[in-house]
Amino acid sequence: MSKQPAVHTEDVWKVFEHDGIAVEAVRGVTMDIQPGEFVVMAGPSGSGKTTLLNLLGGLTRPSRGKVWIDGNDLTEMSERQLAQLRLQRVGFVFQAYNLLPVLTALENAEFSLLLRGMPDAERHRLVKALFEKIGIAGLENRRPAKLSGGQQQRVAVARAVVGEPALVLADEPTANLDTATSVALLDVMTKLNQEMGTTFVFATHDQRLMERAQRLIRLVDGAIETDDRRSAPAAQ
Amino acid sequence: MNRRRLVLPRLAWRNVRRQWRRSLLTGTAMALGVAALVFARTLGDGAHEDWIDSGVRMGSGHLAVQDPEYRASRKLEDRISAADLEAVSVALEAPDIEPYVERVTPRLEVIGLANSPTTAVPVMIMGVDPVAEGAFSQLGVEQRLVEGRYLEPGDRLHVYVGKRLAERLDLELGSRLVLSAQDVMGDIAGQLVRVVGIFQTGVPESDEGIVHIPLATAQQWMGVEGDITTLAILLNSAWEVPRVLRSVRARVGAATDGVAVLGWREAMPELDAAIKLDDFWGYVFNIVLFVIVALAIVNTILMSVLYRTREFGVLRALGLTKRETATVVFTEGLLLTGLAGIIGLGLGFGLVWLLFRNGLDYSGAIENDFTFSGVVLDTLVIPVFRWVQVVMSLGSIIAVGVVASLYPAYRATKIDVAEAMKFEA
């Protein structure tokens, strides 16, 4: 019996209207992503990477077609159900980190667990263990403004994975980081993928990230041009 | 689920603190608004109490017991009999009435003429009990006594007149004048009296149009011995009027045959209208003030929402529902208004107590006596402090906060999550 895919899309389209002109950002994407995969979606600017990522995360609805996350049809869900699905099944890592500035690193990382109603002690234990694992132990009580870009992005990764979601979507996570920090962050995510079995889907231009991809999907003009499966990602 | 709910106010509070300069500016504007409201209410209530007190003392009291027809007819046939007066007096001793009653004075009032050898002036002739009336209307107090004295027990053919009347009739202490009025039989009857005192209230209508004579003299002259036209009742406080009025009406209604009890608003509709008009302008002032405060809140919270578009997108991406996102924004508005309201209350009451607890004297702004509705207004306004002012002021500012936070909260729900991620603050 085959495992249920973490992501399944079927002929997904996203059409935006700009000044009365229809722009097809995503055109008929059909794909499966299996649990534990480390998938990179690459392509030039405007190729539809971010839009596809938003569709997979339920942040936007397709113009037509279907998206399933962990067996749940996103296109049939209400706004409230989508919010619940994002909370329980999806983690996000954004290019600009997007930590909440009024919360400490620990509070940012535990935010989704807090929304799930997990008790304080358990939340703190999980987050602290994760901070240890990804090399930011000791920064728990710092506000984002007091963290470097690399540290902020690690906190964002911790926030995305701590709830063990079915899927982590990362949009250009290394775009604002220098080379050394990018490599260190990629090591962290590779490690989490291998040790925790977290499914990662990236949208990126970053060649280093593409080299680590277990599976590289190239998008051109909103459609999949190539879909190459490779070996498991390797920490460098 | 409780933890989930608790995180929303925590986020809201931290956001209020985060933009502390903006919060401080808006909060200060709101606090000053509340302080101004407290200022206006405490002094306004004090002024109104003074108006009512002056009005009811010069007029027919907080409560007036009369024949139901008397107010319209002003005729002796519409009077209270001695038997009914006795029953009313007993009713006023009831435990739900007596503690609230400060003074009671019986009056026999008839419209008549004050005649001198050369002229006649229409006057309200009031037969009064010198002791009860002296304490009630305070027409004989030093500030109002121009010369002579007020009526005293034992006086019989004596009269206490206003200064303007004395001038018109060329009267002085000891002068004699003839009062004439229609007696109970419908005949015109005259009564010779001698001036024992002259008063001045500052109200032209009173100073020319009222004379006091002993009650027994008036009753005998008018042929209505033992009867009166009005029993005026002064309470400890105007605030007690509605409650005591209900009790007096119930007891007097049961004890007499059709005696009416009027509250001061019914007995003195001009004064009631004047206070309502003043209140109306007060409300207009408050509404303008609160609209300005509301705009400040809307501006602050809306700016904050627009500035944090990306942040709200992140919250939604992390699993907050639209309603929860709106709750965060709404709570920010409430926290800001609640805090500003409490500080404004403290500031308002504190300043009024500090600066005006002994009264706000505006006599310098007014050259002559300030009168309306037959009442001389005291130029020293003593502020009145009441819990209802605290509740109303705080309630008003929180209501403004609720209304003003609704639109920004609504706007927060309309943020497109995917678009919000592109937003640069």
> In chain A, what's the furthest Cα-to-Cα distance?
53
Q: Do A115 and B2 touch (CB under 8 A)?
A: no
Q: Where does B264-368 show beta strands of DSSP type E?
A: 360-361
Helix axes B241-255, B82-91, angle to 10 degrees: 130
Residue A112 to residue B318, Cβ atoms within 8 A: yes
Q: How far apart are CA A156 and CA A192, in angstroms?
A: 13
Nearest to A172 by CA among A146, A202, A138: A202
Q: Closest by alpha carbon to B122, among B194, B61, B41, B205?
A: B205
- Closest Cα in chain A, distance from residue B23 (Å): 15
The confidence score (pLDDT) of residue B366 equals 65
Q: Do A79 and B321 touch (CB under 8 A)?
A: yes
Binary contact (B4, A114; C-beta < 8 A): yes
Residue A195 pLDDT exceeds 90? no
On whether any CB of chain A is under 8 Å from the CB of B7, the answer is: yes
* Euclidean distance between CA atoms B382 and A91, whole angstroms: 65
Name every residue whose Cβ is closer than 8 Å to that of residue B139 and which is 6 or more positions away in sequence: B58, B133, B150, B160, B199, B201, B212
**Contact of B159 with B211, CB cutoff 8 Å:** yes
Query: How far apart, in whole angstroms, are the C-alpha atoms of residue B242 and residue B388?
Result: 16
**3-class SS at A23?**
strand
Q: Answer for the pair B246, B94: CB distance below 8 angstroms, yes or no.
A: no
Task: For residues B16 and B189, give the distance between their C-alpha atoms in angstroms, rounded to a whole number.
Answer: 80
DSSP letter for each residue of B246-298: HHHHHHHHHHSSS-EEEEHHHH-HHHHHHHHHHHHHHHHHHHHHHHHHHHHHH
Q: What predicted TM-score, i.e. pTM, was given to this entire model?
A: 0.71
A contacts of B320 (beta carbons < 8 Å): 83, 115
- d(CA B93, CA B235) in angstroms, rounded, equals 13
Percent of chain A at pLDDT > 70 equals 97
With a cut of 90, say whether residue A143 has pLDDT above it.
yes
Integer angstrom CA distances of residue B11 from A90, B319, B327, B332? 22, 15, 10, 9
Query: Which of B1, B321, B416 is opposite residue A117, by nearest beta carbon?
Result: B1
Do B366 and B372 form a contact (C-beta atoms < 8 A)?
A: no
* Contact flag A117-B2 (C-beta cutoff 8 Å): yes
Partner residues linked to A18 by β-bridges = A21
Amino acid at B133: E
Set of chain B residues whose Cβ sits within 8 Å of the Cβ of A79? 321-322
pLDDT of residue A24: 92
Q: How confident is the model at residue A236 (pLDDT cuts 50, 70, 90)?
A: very low
pLDDT digit string, tens, across residues B86-98 = 999 999 999 999 9
Say if CB B196 and CB B148 are below 8 A apart: yes
Which residues sit opposite A152 in a β-bridge? Answer: none
pLDDT of residue B387: 83
In this structure, are residues A136 and A155 in contact, taking their beta carbons and an 8 Å threshold? yes
CB B361 within 8 A of CB B382: no
How much is the pLDDT for B375?
A: 66
Across the interface, whether the CB atoms of A115 and B7 are under 8 A apart is answered yes
CA atoms within a 13 Å half-sphere pointing along the CA-CB vector of B6: 9
Using the CB atoms, write b or e for B354-373: b if 16+ within 10 Å. eebeeebeeeeeeeeeebeb
Chain A residues within an 8 Å CB radius of B304: none
Chain A residues bordering chain B (beta-carbon distance below 8 Å): 51, 54, 57, 59-60, 79-80, 83-84, 86-88, 92, 94, 96, 98, 100-103, 111-112, 114-119, 159, 171
Q: Do A80 and B321 touch (CB under 8 A)?
A: yes
Of B4, B14, B319, the CB nearest to A86: B319
Give the whole-angstrom CA distance, residue B160 versus residue B171.
Answer: 11
Residue A204: DSSP 8-state: E
Q: Between B18, B316, B417, which is nearest A102 by CB?
A: B18
- Name the minimum distance, in Å, from the CA of B235 to any CA of chain A: 58
Chain A residues with beta carbon closer than 8 angstroms to that of B418: 51, 54, 59-60
Give, rounded to a whole angstrom, the gap between the first and last alpha carbons of chain B.
Answer: 32
Q: B-chain residues within 8 Å CB-CB of A84? A: 319
CB B395 within 8 A of CB B387: no
Amino acid found at B274: A
**CA–CA dist A154, B390 (Å, integer):** 50
Q: How far is CA B98 from CA A208, B54, B262, B416, in A?
A: 94, 22, 17, 68
Which residue, among B34, B57, B2, has the nearest Cα to B346 in the 3D structure?
Answer: B34
**H or E segment at A17?**
strand A7-18
pLDDT of residue A52: 95
Contacts of B421 in chain A (CB under 8 A): 54, 59, 94, 98, 171
pLDDT (0 to 100) of residue B291:
86
Better-predicted residue by pLDDT, B52 or A28: A28
B5 touches chain A (CB under 8 A): no
DSSP string over A25-85: EEEEEEEEE-TT-EEEEE-STTSSHHHHHHHHTTSS--SEEEEEETTEEGGG--HHHHHHH
Taking the C-alpha atoms of residue B334 and residue B326, their distance in angstroms, rounded to an integer, is 12
Distance between CA atoms of A52 and B337, rounded to whole angstroms?
43
State mean pLDDT over A120-135. Answer: 91
- B309: closest chain A residue by CA: A98
Please check whether residue B414 touches A, CB under 8 A: no
Compute the count of residue pairs across chains A and B with CB atoms less than 8 Å apart. 74
- Cβ–Cβ under 8 Å, residues A97 and A152: yes
Query: Residue B206's Cα: distance from chain center in Å?
Result: 22
CA distance B250 to B416: 65
Contact call for residues B48 and B241 (beta carbons, < 8 A): no
Contact A192, A198 (CB under 8 A): yes
Q: Check: CB of residue A47 under 8 Å from CB of residue A220.
A: yes
Determine which of A98, A155, A161 to mutate to test the interface with B (most B C-beta atoms within 10 Å): A98
Please check the confidence at residue A233 and state whether its pLDDT lies above 60. Answer: no
Q: What is the pLDDT of residues B383-409, one digit of tens each?
A: 888 888 888 888 888 888 888 889 889
**pLDDT exceeds cutoff 50 at A1:** no
d(CA A207, CA A218): 13
CB B319 to CB A57 under 8 A?
A: no
| Rounded CA separation B324/B321 (Å) | 5
**Minimal C-alpha gap between A146 and chain B (Å):** 15
* DSSP SS3 for A115: helix
- Asked if A79 and B17 come within 8 Å (Cβ–Cβ), the reply is no
CA distance A159 to chain B (A): 9
Distance between CA atoms of residues B216 and B131, nearest Å: 13
- Inter-chain CB proximity B319 and A171 less than 8 Å: no
Q: Which among B2, B14, B418 has CB closest to A59?
A: B418
> Looking only at Cα atoms, what is the longest distance across chain B?
99
Q: Is B354 on the interface with A (CB under 8 A)?
A: no
Pairing of strands B158-162, B188-199: parallel
Instruction: Using DSSP, state whether B298 is helix, strand or coil.
Output: helix
Q: Which residues in chain B have Cβ-Cβ distances shorter than 8 Å to A102?
A: 11, 14-15, 17-18
Question: Locate tokens 């049961």: which residue?
Answer: B254
Please determine, for the modelled complex, whether the ipTM score is greater than 0.90.
Answer: no
Residues 6+ apart with CB under 8 A from A130: A109, A158, A161, A162
CA distance B210 to B123: 6
For residue B166 the two structure tokens come to 């004395």
pLDDT tens-digit readout, A89-101: 999 998 888 899 8
Tokens of B251: 């007891």
Q: Are strands A64-69 and A167-171 parallel, antiparallel or unpaired?
A: unpaired
Which residue numbers in chain B have pLDDT < 70? 1-3, 366-377, 423-425
